């Protein structure tokens, strides 16, 4: 009997709602569950390119990927995440319900479990930024704001995290001393808006939140632990073209495998008027500005002043 791969994939995921699997994980299950059909597929293959069981599993992986658009058209509950590796899952929840479930799950998560809330993403992002870009990062807690403008007076004003990278870390000392006269030319300042899940229901709101709170910086990024659906990533790319906000897919299991799916467009100048408002309204942002000023004055950034992971904290 010929293998009906699309049906096998759908049945597997439907029996495990909300669980996410890579194409390889599904292919390995298909190989183990349908040995007769798989060997028949191997025997009937043309070109003699399937020479081993490993080749057959790889072929299943490729076919799952190529069949995905058609499977999703026929079965809207079959969904995928974006980024590397793409994961497949079955969910009858609406996109907005998925976001609500992710945020509720995060809010209820115990720190002793592997389930992360949004705050749990911050140290992982700090680790990735330091290891990948040598960016010194700092958390901005909106609760440390004055709120003197009223309950919504500072809505979407503050990023979740900020960062600074030292462009002259490898420069000759004389060059560094010279550039001190042009302090903001030696650094690039970063802004990050962090989310657990982005899909079609919240992509524009999340993006424009990042636009709003990163207007002062050289680089503005939206960051998410998970992004669902090709249309979501397509929307982010279109919005990037107009506003320049980049997107980072954060790998919570291994931050080093995180991806910059959309590089931010650099702004040449810092908006110091906006930076002044943030520093006036929020003590964490004021502390960040003090650290940047200290770097301009001394040419050095002390790791202990920033949210940079140390060897002890990453063990």
Rounded distance between C-alpha atoms, residue 74 and residue 101, angstroms: 25
Give the per-residue pLDDT at 124.
94
**Separation CA 306–CA 280 (nearest Å):** 20
Give the span between the Cα atoms of 78 and 88, in whole angstroms.
7
Predicted local distance difference test score (pLDDT) of residue 111: 38
Q: Are 282 and 140 in contact (CB under 8 A)?
A: yes
What global pTM score does this model have?
0.74
Which of the residues in the chain have pLDDT under 70? Answer: 1, 47, 103-116, 146-156, 179-184, 311-315
pLDDT of residue 202: 92
How many Å apart are CA 193 and CA 104, to the nearest integer? 19
DSSP string, 221-260: EEEEEEEB-HHHHHHHHHHHHHH--EEEE--SS-GGG-EE
Looking at domain 5-92, which CATH architecture does it have?
Orthogonal Bundle (1.10)
Per-residue pLDDT, 214: 93
Domain ranges of the chain: 5-92, 118-305
- How far is the CA of 179 from the CAs of 73, 170, 176, 185, in angstroms? 57, 13, 5, 7
For residue 161, what pLDDT is reported? 95
Express each pLDDT in 27-48 by its tens digit: 999 999 988 988 888 888 776 7
């Amino acid at each position: 009997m010929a293998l009906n791969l699309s049906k096998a994939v759908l049945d597997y995921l439907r029996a495990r709602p909300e669980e996410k699997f890579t194409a390889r994980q599904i292919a390995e299950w298909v190989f183990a569950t349908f040995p007769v059909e798989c060997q028949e597929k191997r025997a009937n293959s043309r070109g003699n390119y399937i020479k081993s069981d490993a080749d057959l599993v790889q072929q299943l992986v490729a076919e799952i990927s190529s069949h995905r658009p058609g499977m999703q058209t026929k079965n809207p509950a079959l969904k995928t995440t974006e980024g590397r590796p793409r994961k497949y899952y079955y969910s009858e929840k609406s996109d907005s319900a998925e976001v609500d479930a992710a945020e509720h799950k995060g809010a209820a998560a115990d720190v002793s479990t592997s389930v992360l809330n949004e705050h749990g993403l911050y140290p992982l992002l700090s680790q990735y930024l330091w290891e990948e870009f040598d960016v010194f990062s700092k958390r901005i807690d909106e609760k440390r704001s004055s709120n003197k403008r009223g309950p919504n007076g500072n809505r979407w004003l503050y990023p979740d995290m900020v960062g600074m990278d030292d462009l002259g870390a490898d420069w000759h000392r004389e060059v560094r001393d010279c550039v001190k006269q042009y302090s903001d030319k030696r650094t690039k300042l970063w802004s990050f808006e962090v989310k657990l899940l982005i899909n079609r229901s919240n992509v524009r709101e999340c993006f424009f939140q990042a636009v709003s709170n990163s207007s002062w910086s050289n680089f503005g990024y939206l960051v998410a632990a998970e992004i669902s659906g090709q249309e979501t990533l397509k929307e982010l790319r279109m919005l990037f073209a107009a506003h320049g906000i980049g997107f980072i897919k954060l790998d919570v299991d291994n931050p080093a495998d995180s991806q910059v799916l959309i590089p931010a467009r650099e702004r040449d100048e810092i908006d110091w008027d906006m930076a002044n408002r943030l520093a006036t309204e929020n003590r964490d942002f004021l502390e960040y500005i003090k650290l940047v000023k200290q770097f301009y004055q001394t040419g050095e950034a002390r790791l202990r002043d920033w949210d940079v992971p140390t060897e002890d904290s990453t063990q």
